[in-house]
Structure formats: structure tokens, C-alpha cells
Amino acid sequence: MMAEKNIGSVKLDRILTEDKIEALDKTLQLLSKLNELGILDTVTDILEPEVIERAASLIINPSTLRIVDRIDQLTGTLGKIDYDTLEKRINLLNEALKSIPEKPKRIGLLGLLGELRDPDVQRGMGVLIELLKAIGKAAEKQQK
């Protein structure tokens, strides 16, 4: 029995280097602090099987698996986005959407012709025309 303890002690001496002892000490101090703050209880609650199962079902589903499968393609595409321009256009669209009445009035062809005199309508039409041109150019590039 004594020989086994000596062998175990020798193995521990080889395994527990000064660096590892220091790391273990820091880990124990960290765990103690987390326990004092109540964080370990929260982590323990999170690790309950029901919570893990629910989290896994939210994370592992066909949609997220498709995203993971195409992560390289997605990051490449997202890397091409000009975020400054995108933010400006989204802000423009957001402001426009806020100003649309809940129930817009119905207008016919003559009403449309009358609205074309409105400078805001003219500006909006200009934006739409530029958007259509840009989409057309982009579509032509993709078809080549």
C-alpha cells in the first residue's frame, strides 16, 4: 500500500509543475469568487438537462444548420456590403415608412397625374428610377 502511495506521489510530482500549480490556484480562486457572486449557482441552473435541451433545440434546427453549412459563403457575401451606404438607405426607408398613413387614400390615374406635380413625389420617383437603373445594371453584370 505504501509503495502505491509513493508511486502516486512521484506521478503527481511529475504532473504538477510550478506553472500548473499556479494555474490550479488561480482557477480555484476564480471559482471561489464566482461562488461568492452567485454565478456558479446560475451556471449550475443553466446546466440542468431541461435548459440544455431547450437551448440545443433553439440552436440546432434546420435553419441554423443551413447557415452553418454555408458560413463561408455568408461571410464572403456580408464582407462585400458597404455598411455606411446600407445604413443611410435603411434610415431613408425607415423615415419614409414612418410617414406613410395607416390608411392611405385611394387615387386613380388622374390623381396620380396630379401627384406628379408634388416635389416630394418627383424626388421619390427619381429615387425609384435610380434604384431600377442600378438593379438593371447589376442584373446585366450577373448575366454575363
Helices 71-79 and 62-69, axial angle in degrees (round to 10): 70
pTM of the model: 0.46
119-124: which pairs have CB atoms within 8 A and are 24 or more residues apart? 124/96
How many domains is the chain partitioned into structurally? 1
Domain of 89, in residue numbers: 81-100+110-143
- pLDDT tens, 79-116? 999 999 999 999 999 999 999 999 989 999 999 999 99
Is 125 a member of any domain? Answer: yes
H/E/C letters for each residue in 94-114? HHHHHHCCCCCCCCCHHHHHH
Is 91 a member of any domain? Answer: yes
Is 116 a member of any domain? Answer: yes
Is 123 a member of any domain? Answer: yes
